[in-house]
A and B are shown apart, each in its own frame.
Chain A
Amino acid sequence: MKSNRFILTFVSVLTLLILVLTACATPTTPPTTQAPAVPTNTQPPAPVIPTNTQPPPPTAVPTKMPTAAPVTIRYWHTHSDAEAAQLDKVIAAFEATNPGITIEPTRYAYSDFKTALLTAISSGDVPDVVRMDIVWVPEFANQGALVQLDGTLPDFETIISDVFPGPLATNKWNGHYYGLPLDTNTQVLLWNKSRFEAASIANPPATMDEFVQDACKLTDAANNQYGYAEGGTYFWAPAPIFYTMGGKVTDEGITTATGYINGPESVAVFTLLKDLNDRGCLSPNLLGGGIATDAGHAEGIYGMIIDGPWMVDIYKNNYPDFQVNFAPIPTGPNGTTSSVVGGEDVVILEGSKNQEAAMKWAAYLLSPDAQKMMAAVGQMPVLTTLIGDSSLPPYFAVFQEQLKTAQARVPHPRWSDMDNAINNAYQRILRGDQTVQVALDQAATEINALITGP
């Protein structure tokens, strides 16, 4: 009995020791990996600088030692495979011209990205630079998570003078800029040429009136064919038509939605869409659980959809024989076209210990070189100076033209909730639960509460 208990005690103590020791091992690893990192990083500058064929610096090196100390910039993004491979080339080019700065990229899936960022921010161990969805910037800025760039980023005014105003506006919150536009996109009309030919329509619609006529001409509900389809009722889907027809969500200063989301122009937009729906020219998939717009368009089920530049790559992989045809969004009642701005911004996180180097990296991402390199894999540049550049893919032209008049969604930290309010109004309109005016009046009340709320 006694020896039995002794063995038990011995084994349990041993187990505990193993656990404690292995548990201790993990915290000790970071210091050991960091410890050699410092010496190895401090040593190279001496040999690196002479090899850079810059004789004068050696004299300056001793005085500049504190600022020139080698740093690692952690860069988080959600690029695709092809984009991530291209990013490595951009990083190599940056590191070659900026000795002492190492960029350490980390890739996330878009769906996990917000959670990953929030976890990092709440733990205080943040990445230095992040490429994030443009609609997140006000939200994270409002949380105090982002560094204000106007007044801190060197040459800020010069950099922003060369970018499209729409993408730039997505970085503004409370009168300050918390990011720089990195890549941009917008939505244009995609029209299925064989369907148009079968319906004896020569060209894509140029005006909204033609758009409605064509949508219904292309519809053959008995054979499950629709003239027009939207991916859902979330704001991004009807946004190009909404902005083209003069719709507004709030006033310029984001003080009220009354008279904007429920104003006559916005009402006209949703009346048009409701009318298309009731006549059966709008596919019912947008209510949920139908055929996706990308596949449906290529299969000839949907004559027209509205989507972005990434469709080229999607079709290249999934429907190699399908010929994509782009056209500008048909013009609204006042003869102009518009669309919605999408894309990503680059931001620097509050809590980054290497803000100076982080700003260099962010600024480099907006250089014509870096922008052109990323354009080769479908990332549309934000620089106005690159319009018509011969190195850009030819299909960018229609998107760049559309971007000139495309509008940004409301830059507000509660945008996700505002989007939801409009989404729900659109659902109630299509279902016939409410008239267009009543549904949008309710959306206006909800958005006003979000503007004035805590």
Chain B
Amino acid sequence: MKTRRGYSDLIPAVFFLLPGLVLFLLFFFGPMVYSLRISFFNWKIVHPDQSVFIGLRNYLRALSDPIFQRAVMNTSAYTVITVTVKLVLGLAVALLLNQTIPGRTFFRVAYYLPVITSWVIVSLLFEYMFNGQAGLINYFLKNILHLIPKNVLWFADPILTLVPIVLLDIWKGVGWAAIIFLAGMQSIPVELHEAARVDGANSGAQLRFVTLPLLRPTLVYLVVVLVIGGLNAYIPFQLMTNGGDPLDLTHSVLTLMYEATFSRIDFGYGAAISYLLTIFVFFISVIELRLMRRRVT
């Protein structure tokens, strides 16, 4: 077995990496650095040379902006709720799909189908379902179940608006979490379960002492990826709230960033918002990894 490698081994590796690296530097890293620069300026898009350097003022403005604070709260609440529910439901679905049940392939496909549907189409579909005057949900709650005395205007209330958005993300995301969990479960050696059974463990104990501990790396991966995805929520917020309706109370961080940049042509402020989000995501991810990578046994 080789333990040390000479530089000559690196050459092919470098050549293989180079195309991807060039694309990354050109289309990701370059624009990232450029937008970092923009975030320190009152940026003039037509005449960048006339842009005024204002230091951290865009950042301070964002931090003291009540609309930004509300957007952070919305995004955080959305992330916490959707990630938690998707993890719990995803695990439950994966456990079910891991059994030998009739029609297993059908259910695997059925749970995964929402994942591959278009965000735009299902966002509009949910908007129709939650229509305040003619929606299916109101009809169901009012005329069938008699839970509400009159129609609820879901999208007229800044809190209720989050209900369809959160439900949509859960509906659309459970299948993906389940498939990842399932892959993790199938990599657990059968011998461990057999050994546990020999030791007298029932299925509950097997889940607790064999499956869940060994799923820990999968869980870490899922939490990190789902949280990053949640904090970057954009399409359902944009489509269902028209970017912050009502009263700019329903923005996600990214819809606010988009509005500042492209509707109000305030590129510096938009860039500052996206960097604040980047910093936030970075620290959250580091904390998650620290917390969850403790004592991997």
Contacts and interface: CB of A to CB of B under 8 A. Distances in A.
Given A290-B133, A291-B134, A122 B45 contact: yes
Interface in B96-136: 127, 130-134
B18 interface: yes
A12 B15 contact: yes
Contacts of A290: 131-134, 153, 156
Given A143-B45, A416-B264, A424-B248, A289 B15 contact: no
A303 to B, nearest CB: 15
B247 A289 contact: no
A9 B11 contact: yes
Contact of B132 (A8, A285, A420, A428): A285
Nearest to B20: A19
A139 interface: yes
A12 B248 contact: no
Given A5-B8, A428-B247, A285 B133 contact: yes
Contacts of B213: none
A37 interface: no
A284 B133 contact: yes
Contacts of A278: none
Given A121-B46, A143-B45, A144-B47, A287 B153 contact: yes
B48 interface: yes
Contacts of A16: 15, 18-19
A291 B46 contact: no
A289 B12 contact: no
Interface string B143-177: 00000000001111000010000000000000000
Contacts of B245: 232, 288
A115 interface: yes
Contact of B247 (A12, A427, A454): A427
A289 B11 contact: no
A289 B18 contact: no
B15 A13 contact: yes
B191 interface: no
B246 A287 contact: yes
A283 B156 CA distance: 13
B154 A289 contact: yes
A291 B131 contact: yes
Interface in A38-86: none
A145 interface: yes
A83 to B, nearest CB: 25
Contacts of B264: 416-417
A19 B48 contact: no
Interface string B249-278: 000000000000011110000000000000
Interface residues of A, number: 37
A302 to B, nearest CB: 11
A454 B15 contact: no
A118 interface: yes
Contact of A5 (B9, B19, B44, B154): B9
A212 B252 CA distance: 39
Given A5-B12, A9-B15, A15-B19, A143 B46 contact: yes
B16 interface: yes
B155 A122 contact: no
Contact of B246 (A283, A291, A427): A427
A291 B45 contact: no
B39 interface: no
A420 to B, nearest CB: 7
B132 A139 contact: no
Contacts of A285: 132-133
A289 B156 contact: yes
Contacts of B47: 143-144
A325 B163 CA distance: 39
B184 to A, nearest CB: 33
A203 B7 CA distance: 90
A350 interface: yes
Contact of B12 (A9, A122, A454): A9
A288 B42 contact: no
A289 B132 CA distance: 5
B206 to A, nearest CB: 45
Contacts of A417: 264
Contacts of B132: 284-285, 287-290
A114 interface: yes
Nearest to A1: B2
A205 to B, nearest CB: 24
A137 to B, nearest CB: 13
Interface string A8-42: 11011101100100000000000000000000000
Nearest to A425: B247
Contacts of A121: 45-46
B156 A145 contact: no
Contacts of A19: 19
B246 A288 contact: yes
A114 B9 CA distance: 50
Given A139-B265, A416-B264, A288 B18 contact: no
A224 interface: yes
Nearest to B26: A23
Contacts of A15: 15-16, 19
B279 to A, nearest CB: 25
A350 B153 contact: no
Contact of B262 (A11, A118, A283, A454): A118
Interface string B205-240: 000000000000000000000000000000000000
A267 B134 CA distance: 32
Nearest 9 CB-CB pairings of A with B: A289-B155, A12-B15, A287-B156, A288-B155, A8-B12, A288-B156, A290-B133, A289-B132, A143-B46
Given A143-B46, A287-B156, A289-B131, 19 more contacts: A5-B12, A9-B11, A12-B15, A15-B16, A16-B18, A19-B19, A115-B262, A118-B265, A121-B45, A122-B48, A143-B265, A284-B132, A288-B132, A288-B161, A290-B134, A290-B156, A291-B133, A416-B264, A424-B247
Interface of A: 5, 8-9, 11-13, 15-16, 19, 114-115, 118, 121-122, 139, 143-145, 224, 232-233, 283-285, 287-291, 350, 416-417, 420, 424, 427-428, 454
